[in-house]
Amino acid sequence: MIEAFFNIEIMKAAWPIVLTGLWNTILLSLIVVPLGLLGGLILALLASIKHPLVRWPLMAWVDFFRAFPPLVLLVLLFAGLPFAGLELGGFACVAIAFFLNTGSYYGEIFRAGIDSVPAGQVEAARSTGLSRMQSMRYVVLPQAVRNVMPDLLSNTLEVVKLTSLGSVVAVPELLYEARQAQSITYNPTPIVMAAVIYFLLLWPLVRLLSRLENRALAGRH
Amino acid sequence: MTSHIVDARAIHKHFGTLHVLKGVDLKVDERELVFVIGPSGSGKSTLLRCLNRLEEPSSGSIMVDGIDMLDPRTNINHARRRIGMVFQSFNLYPHMTALGNVMLALRKVAGKSRGEAESLAHAALKRVGLADRADHTPGQLSGGQQQRVAIARSIALEPRVMLFDEPTSALDPELVGSVLEVMRDLRESGMTMIVVSHEMGFARNAADRVVFMDDGLIVEQGPPGAIFENPAHERTRAFIGQIQRH
């Protein structure tokens, strides 16, 4: 058992490869999380224009990308785009797929946040002469983000986990590198290493999330 | 040319099938304090909210300080700077300090520098008796203090008219006095004020004119003494009898 899953020799040998994977996972997260947040913010701001010509296409967009499995989306981009003459590479495909998929999720969260801010806040801001955009930026958004912080964090947690999908399109992130190491060493120990690293990477976020959720619950009483 | 600082004519407002304002005329002189009373649903708050176009009137015309509020070419954000508004539920920004609440529009609308906005905001807070609460967030202030910060937020922009929408209705009785005191002080400084409220004592002492609204129309108006002691209309009499019993 220990030979197979916790083999010290293999750990030593696989460490540099797994470490490369870890850095790439972190790098990937640092790209796709802000990208998803940006996409989400744009969607939510568009949604605050309550015009039917904006609302319906937007709803269709969000529904579509929330219903579409991100793995399928990723494979479609990676395998399909070259036939349209676009050779983007795994990394770019992951970035686009996440922008579309997680952006839609972040968008719904931001939208709920914006809706949670009482209308009186905007009325007060507008009555002092602030424009619609200024009211959104200085009055509504700061409160909206604070109100949905647990959901934003929870979604971010999922996004970081989802970066492991990159392994399917040969992005050398943590899971991909661990599998490489496994196939070289004929031993599953590198996969165990990856699992432990994922846990150590995400556990602080999980703790932070429960603290935020508890505080949100306490704040309601 | 008229000398009215507020001149609203034939204001109608529909909410779907509901006809809330049925042709209201309201003229207010400079430095005048006009009290608007009436049963709930009479349209008095809607009228107030039409004056700074928080509510879009269905028809009519509104001039405030010489600006045509309903002209599409009017820059509504510039126009609103001249019209302060105080809400029943205060509507302070909970994520900012009292000072931050007052400073926001000074910086972003009036374009003041940080230093200038800060000293103007401090002066406004001092005027409402809250100089020592500048660093408190709304959550750390009593209702009366919150409403005074809201007044400071408006007067810091040096408006030409102030609108008060039931400013004391959400307050515990013992906190009402401090807000009325600030309003009295404003009135003495010559501010033009339109107040929707049922604070009859205050109306009696401070108002130049009381306007009674019912069912989307102004039923009658006149000096507080006349309206309260000797109303011409039965509806006014009934309403005043009702609120005086409380």
* Window B:106-165, CB contacts with A under 8 Å: 108-110, 150, 153-154, 157
What DSSP letter does each residue of B212-229 carry, written as one string? EEETTEEEEEE-HHHHHH
pLDDT of residue A170: 74
- Please state, in angstroms and rounded to a whole number, the distance separating the CA atoms of residues B42 and A117: 28
Decide: A163 and A25 in contact? Cβ < 8 Å: yes
pLDDT number for residue A84? 80
Q: Which of A115-129, A192-206, B202-216 has the least mean pLDDT?
A: A192-206
How much is the pLDDT for A219? Answer: 65
Where are the domains positioned within chain B?
93-158
pLDDT tens-digit map of A135-184: 999 999 999 999 999 999 999 999 888 888 888 877 888 888 888 878 88
Binned at pLDDT 50, 70 and 90, residue B74 comes out as very high
Domains, chain A, in order of start with CATH, read 2-220 (1.10.3720.10)
Residue B2 has pLDDT above 90, yes or no: no
Question: Chain A interface residues facing chain B, Cβ-Cβ under 8 Å?
Answer: 118, 120-121, 123-131, 134, 138-139, 142-143, 146
Spell out the SS3 assignment of A174-209. Answer: HHHHHHHHHHHHCCCHHHHHHHHHHHHHHHHHHHHH
Contact call for B109 and A125, based on CB within 8 A:
no
pLDDT band at A220 (very low <50, low <70, confident <90, very high): low
How far apart CA B18 and CA B238 sit, in angstroms, is: 24
What pLDDT is recorded for position A213? 82
